[in-house]
Chain A
């Protein structure tokens, strides 16, 4: 049990560093999708609700866990969907006719 705890703690610390390294590279343009994306990812708490449901006894504990699972599901499904919808709106400038011509020329070479 002691070792498990040490492993968990190691994962915690390392994941913190990985998270910092990955997220630091996200440009300002994508900060809103980043926030809604992380909304989806912290929906991972739904796992806690799923794992505890069979342990719970009494209507109150069950009710609390159903709410927790519902909350987590809202996060996961809502978060990923809204992020996808938002990212779909980010478009680059269409190439100008000259740029297209230039690209074609280079292709022909």
Chain B
């Protein structure tokens, strides 16, 4: 029946033409994202493309057959709209990583459900051509992994689940994951070979992939989230494209592949910015599980210098250039608006203020940029790591707000350090460094940061938002 519908559908020139218009608009819209000026329009163009695709699909002969179908489609769309609109309008920018994680999840979930229905519906072996079956099963496995993996990522980011890695001891986690993977793929091959109990087999594959999705993301620590979210994004895209091939739908193929490409690019960028390989991250256990080399004795005897908001204000107000290096701590403290106030106060005193953005600062690609944009910081003030690093030597004061590992000079100087080789913001090259931090607890990677013990570094302990507001008040009073 699907085959008949598909054949009929292929003869409908109008629908085909509409689909070509739709994916052209999607690609053209996405190409607008190359700059902040064109991006708003690009996003609107892409949404028009999506609307064309949906309308063309609804016009496809047969889709509206029967009252039940019509009602069910409307019910589905209404439920999605009722959940989607308030979620999009209310979410805070600090919560964007969770939002993107759960959105990745529902996309993957939809793919898995569609595959399930396809297989449930056609019991007799050999109904599908083998090639269709392979793509549909790829979608089922990857979509299911993405759904469950994203739910775990959401749970960790929303702090429903603990952010630290949760894993079985030693190599048993890797072995279990490998077994699950082999079972899922093996069942898929058996299914392709033509077994009669297809309905049960597809359920088995979905469940195995679901367990695998949980097992893969649970052992990954909070600091690795930018990589995981990007990877799950790629997974969802690729599974959508595979379903597109199975359903013979060009818009699904093109859209899925764009997302797949985007997720892949981001995954690689994030992994590179952490100097770690993607397989190593997926194998898990970095964020806290790897024992940092015991240098406690070495660092003992070194002391940190604590400072006050008043002293910081004086230092900042008489500086020529101040660089702000924000990290996840700024997001947690919701300090972005306070930081913007401080920037304005300093600019009023004639101080040049710039922001240094590390690619993996925060919990997702570009997290800091969005937070600062929300606080009205013009994007021209945000500098990428490679642009700002040569400037630190000309900077009088660097203000590190809730960032830790991305400023850790051990990544440059200590070959034994777990983060050795990771590109960092070279804040230690500026005249002096002020670190805003809640306590001396180590970063998410559990690595001590020698920066804190440098003579030029002063620590301002306390809630970042409150500290920044105090500094601003002092600057304004000067």
Contacts and interface: CB of A to CB of B under 8 A. Distances in A.
B348 interface: no
Nearest to A5: B131
Contacts of B110: 45-46, 48-49, 67-69, 71-72, 75
Interface stretch (B29-37, B167-175, B309-317): B29-37
Contacts of A61: 117, 120-121
A42 interface: yes
6 contacts: A5-B245, A33-B370, A48-B249, A53-B73, A73-B79, A76-B84
A26 interface: yes
B84 A34 contact: no
Nearest to A88: B40
Given A28-B359, A72-B107, A92-B379, A57 B254 contact: no
B306 to A, nearest CB: 34
Nearest to A20: B261
B369 A65 contact: no
Nearest to B23: A15
Contact of A74 (B50, B53, B84, B249): B84
Interface string A16-41: 10111011111111111111111111
Contacts of B88: 77-79, 81-82, 85
Contacts of B296: none
Contact of A90 (B44, B260, B379, B384): B379
B118 interface: yes
A30 B83 CA distance: 25
Interface of A: 1, 4-5, 8-9, 11-12, 15-16, 18-20, 22-57, 60-62, 64-94
Given A61-B117, A73-B79, A35 B100 contact: yes
A64 B15 CA distance: 26
Contacts of B64: 54
Given A80-B50, A81-B85, A22 B258 contact: yes
Contact of A78 (B2, B76, B103, B367): B103
Interface residues of B, number: 116
A48 B114 contact: yes
Interface stretch (B179-187, B236-244, B286-294, B410-418): B236-244
A38 B366 CA distance: 14
Contact of A54 (B33, B66, B250, B357): B66
Given A34-B262, A55-B1, A64-B113, 8 more contacts: A33-B33, A41-B259, A42-B240, A45-B114, A53-B63, A53-B69, A66-B75, A93-B381
Contacts of B263: 38
A53 B72 contact: yes
Q: Is the interface of A mostly helix, strand, loop or mixed?
A: helix
Contacts of A62: 68, 72
B385 to A, nearest CB: 9
A17 to B, nearest CB: 8
B84 A77 contact: yes
A22 to B, nearest CB: 5
A28 B357 contact: yes
Contacts of B379: 29, 90-92
Contacts of B50: 40-41, 43-44, 76, 80
A30 B39 contact: yes
A70 B253 contact: no
Nearest to A29: B369
A1 B260 CA distance: 26
A85 B381 CA distance: 21
A30 B367 CA distance: 9
A31 to B, nearest CB: 3
Given A38-B263, A86-B373, A45 B96 contact: no
A23 B264 CA distance: 10
A20 B245 contact: no
B322 to A, nearest CB: 16
Contacts of A55: 1-2, 5, 121
Given A23-B30, A47-B57, A71-B109, A38 B233 contact: yes
B255 interface: yes
Given A12-B241, A50-B54, A86 B96 contact: yes
Contact of A8 (B106, B253, B382): B253
A37 B43 contact: yes
A64 B117 contact: yes
A19 B262 contact: yes
A76 B85 CA distance: 10
Nearest to B33: A26
